[in-house]
Amino acid sequence: MSSYKGRSFVPLVKDKTKKNGYHLAKKADVKISHCETCNCCWEQNYLAIRNFKPKTKRWIRRDEYLYYDDFPTYGKAKKVCPRCQVQSS
Instruction: Render pLDDT for 21-40 as a digit per residue (tens, 0 to 9).
Output: 667 777 778 899 999 999 99
For residue 10, tell me if it sits in a domain: no
Which pairing describes strands 7-9 and 2-4: parallel, antiparallel, or unpaired? antiparallel
Confidence (pLDDT) at 33: 94
Separation in Å, CA 88 to CA 1, 37, 38, 81, 84: 65, 10, 12, 11, 6
Please give the Cα distance from 70 to 46 (Å, whole number): 22
Residue 59 belongs to domain spanning: 15-88
pLDDT tens for residues 51-85?
Answer: 666 666 677 778 889 999 988 888 899 999 999 99
Q: Which residues share a beta bridge with 41?
A: 34, 68
The answer, yes or no, to whether residue 6 has pLDDT greater than 70, is no
Q: SS3 for 7?
A: strand
For residue 8, tell me if it sits in a domain: no
Please give the Cα distance from 30 to 47 (Å, whole number): 19
The domain total for the chain is: 1
For residue 58, tell me if it sits in a domain: yes
pTM of the model: 0.63
For residue 7, tell me if it sits in a domain: no
